[in-house]
Amino acid sequence: MFEKVLIANRGEIALRIHRACKEMGIKTVAVHSTADADAMHVRLADEAVCIGPAPARDSYLNKAAIISAAMITGADAIHPGYGFLSENADFAEMVEAHGITWIGPSPKMIRMMGDKVQAKAAAIKSGLPVVPGSDGDVRTVDAAKIVAQKIGYPVIIKAAAGGGGKGMKVAHNESELVEAYNTAKLEAKTSFGNDMVYMEKYLQTPRHIEIQVLADNYGNVVCLGERDCSLQRKHQKVLEESPSPALNKTQREKIMEIVRTAMTKIGYSNLGTIEFLYENGEFYFLEMNTRLQVEHPITEMVTGIDVVREQIRVASGAPLGYSQKDIRFDGYAIECRINAENPETFIPSPGKIGCWHVPGGLWVRVDSAMYSGYKVPPHYDSMVAKLIVFGRSRNGCLMRLKRALDEFVIEGVETTIPLHQRIIANSDFIDGQYNIHWLENFLEKK
């Protein structure tokens, strides 16, 4: 097992990784920008190293500074968390080249799944169901027209190196296709430095359902159930739940077996998430995230498995020690992402936190690095907390979530707590009747 792990991240996920390490008897090294000198994970870590000024490009995205911090402190592994460099294959290779263990999948796997065209090809080869679309990248408008005629409108054009909704455009007819194609390529080039795009049939009312995968270095693969991440605004997840109210046991077991078989075929190891669009009883591969997910706590709630601990164990060379038949799913869990934003305009609200009172009680969990007096910086993602609740029934989980949101007090900055209170009071959500467009339609009606 590792003696010292450097955590190449900040905020609640850095604190989450620190806690897992401490419970395993592993020392931690926190890296931080000048803006995060007073951050909770910095205060609690065994050692801390400042790696640059506030802008992420000069600190949390500074590969050389992070590796230097690991070498100076004698860290024998690096955990990247999510975001920043977590899916940067070049960085993972640099880490390994310096004799430091990368806590995550191989650079080869990160690179393959980071390219959406390669990822789709790998999905098809491994037996994952995919949305009808182009066989690879689409290099001209004329080629796009041919694909559209083959699969039928509406179609969606996506950046091969994309994510977060950037370089993604929908076309309902040929005249829209030309503009959508050119705009998508321009956005892809601007956002990712790569203007390669591909095309798929546009599903109109799908849900976003993802399967959590955990695999060791010895060919053992398990699926830890699904998460329904359909409540999104501008392609960013807002609230997630597990299990999905749209699936029954048979559907769940079928898709998990398909995923497990596919991951075995491609030789995946460590933690990963296969994301699907789900419509009319059919799953369609969307992408794979080769890292820890923001919403991992709800999986931990319903399985009882500490996925961060398992990530670290697998990276150290330990086998899983259990098989798929040993995984038990119990109850329901929901996570609300609490952002420092105006709940109606979504304008970020950085500032100094005054009163900070988190909810408690049975089966209520708050993942956050905030505290009273902490200054929320304007330089990074606006999420300040994740509220996760568990219940034996979905209704019980919703009642507990309502109570917990009512208890949550954050003063000094605006937050999206009122938005979550509105969402969970809506009859569509209570009945589990929503898709990836539901939240934006809900917001427009107000």
Query: How far is Cα 303 from Cα 285, in angstroms, rounded to an integer?
Result: 24
- The residue among 5, 55, 64 whose CA lies nearest residue 30 is 5
Of the CA atoms within 13 Å of residue 188, those in its CB half-sphere come to 23
Query: How far is Cα 331 from Cα 277, in angstroms, rounded to an integer?
Result: 24
Of the CA atoms within 13 Å of residue 92, those in its CB half-sphere come to 21
C-alpha torsion 410→415→417→423, nearest 10: 180
List beta partners, residue 132. Answer: none
List beta partners, residue 240. Answer: 335
**Tokens representing 183?**
């705009």
Query: How far is Cα 15 from Cα 256, in angstroms, rounded to an integer?
Result: 30
Per DSSP bridges, beta strands 47-52 and 27-33 are parallel
Q: Active-site residue numbers?
A: 291
DSSP H helical segments within 278-367, as ranges? Answer: 296-303, 307-315
Query: How far is Cα 396 from Cα 333, in angstroms, rounded to an integer?
Result: 10
Query: How far is Cα 78 from Cα 8, in angstroms, rounded to an integer?
Result: 7
Per DSSP bridges, beta strands 383-391 and 332-339 are antiparallel
Query: How far is Cα 240 from Cα 296, in angstroms, rounded to an integer?
Result: 10
Query: How far is Cα 273 from Cα 264, in angstroms, rounded to an integer?
Result: 14
46 Cβ neighbours under 8 A, 6+ residues apart: 4, 27, 28, 29
